[in-house]
Amino acid sequence: MAVKILADSACDLPLSFFEEYKVELLPLKVLLGEQEFEDIVTIQSDTVYEAIRGGQFPKTSQVSPTKFESVFTELAKQKQEAIYIAFSSELSGTYQTAVMILDQVKENYPDFQLTIIDSKCASLGYGLVVREAAILAADHHSKDEILSTIEFYTSHMEHLFSVDDLDYLAKGGRVSKASAFLGGLLNIKPLLHVENGKLVPIEKLRGKKKLLRRMVEVMKERGQSISLQTIGISHAVTEETALELKALIEQELNPQDVVITSIGSCVGAHTGPGAIALFFLNEIPKK
């Protein structure tokens, strides 16, 4: 029996991916007005971005304990080996809740073989980890082999991203209100990355072209053997910008593949429309 991979919707992979690779989707929640939705399942990111542009500010919450209990218990009954790769614990409480519920489920099913991993990653950076694990599971690799690959990918995944309006990150507590004000005032594009699971500013640039050029430069500085990698780009209704970034990368670094996805409702509720993100490894696995 193949190892079962579980992931939550903050990995920003499309629903078709979960269906194709039989990955168990654990959707985060999006609260819009008085209605609660399941990310990817009952709400799409376009709806969230439209609401934000209309002056609403959606709220998000982690996967419900009830959902975890239901999924974990069913897998335990089936005696199914499984790995849950979770959204960064620095950005969501989902990982901690999953660990708590697993302990409860193990009281009734002490032999349940589920390993929970804190990816320390977000958006498609997290998605690339899930993607690699799902491919290995589909090829019937052992659980130890898959876990080793996950550990490598989570340790070496680089995240570079920017938002169109710093106010969105400020409202979510991700940057200070003063920084957000200055960014909007001067048309500054912040370049950020993820460090130990947290969002950390790198520098500020003026204008989209300088931003994209700098993202490629940082990729050259930090990346290794880009020509052998699958690169990830995620965007919030900025496909044109994503394609510009892809063209620059292909022209200068010739990666093996470039995957482009939309930033989902849960992550997008904090970045707002206009966000662009780039993901790659700073070291590649040894063959």
CATH number for the domain that contains residue 70: 3.40.50.10170
* Alpha carbon distance 113, 118 (integer Å): 17
Give CA–CA dist 182/252, Å, rounded: 33
Q: What is the mean pLDDT of residues 64-78?
A: 97
Instruction: State yes or no: pLDDT of 205 exceeds 70.
Output: yes
Q: Which of 96-105, 164-173, 188-197 shows the lowest per-residue confidence on average (mean pLDDT)?
A: 164-173
pLDDT tens track for 277-287: 999 999 998 86
User: Which comes out higher in pLDDT, residue 190 or 142?
Assistant: 142
pLDDT at 182 over 60: no
pLDDT beyond 90 at 71: yes
Tens of pLDDT along 224-250?
Answer: 999 999 999 999 999 999 999 999 999
CB 46 within 8 Å of CB 55: no
Of the candidate ranges 204-208, 209-213, 233-237, the one whose mean pLDDT is the lowest:
204-208
How confident is the model over 54-76, as a mean pLDDT?
94
Is residue 43 scored above 60 in pLDDT? Answer: yes
pLDDT bucket at 180, cuts 50 / 70 / 90: very low
R_g of the chain computed on alpha carbons: 19
| Predicted confidence (pLDDT) per residue in 120-129, tens digit | 999 999 999 9
* Alpha helix stretches (DSSP H) within 109-203: 123-138, 143-156, 166-171, 177-186
pTM here is 0.92
Query: 211 is written with which tokens?
Result: 């931003």
Q: Which of 100, 135, 156 is at the close of a domain?
A: 156
Four-point Cα dihedral 218, 219, 223, 226, nearest 10: -160
| 166/136: higher pLDDT | 136
Residue bearing the bigger pLDDT, 199 or 111:
111
Q: Is the pLDDT of residue 200 over 90?
A: no
The helix/strand/coil state of 176 is coil
The answer to the question of residue 171 being in a domain is: yes
Domain that holds residue 83: 4-156
* Domain total in the chain: 2
Residue 168's pLDDT band, with cuts at 50, 70 and 90, is: low
Q: 44 and 102 in one domain? A: yes
Domain end, chosen from 104, 139, 156, is at 156
What is d(CA 225, CA 16) in angstroms, rounded to the nearest whole number?
Answer: 29
The amino acid that residue 16 corresponds to is S
Q: Which of 156, 191, 222 is the last residue of a domain?
A: 156
Q: With 70 as the cut, is the pLDDT of residue 187 above it?
A: no
**Strands 188-195 and 157-162, bridge-based pairing:** antiparallel
- Decide if 56 is inside a domain: yes
**269, 202: one domain:** yes
Res 197: pLDDT: 78
Residues 184, 165: contact at Cβ < 8 Å? yes
Please tell me the distance from the alpha carbon of residue 230 to that of residue 98, in angstroms, as a whole number. Answer: 29
Residues 129 and 268 in one domain: no
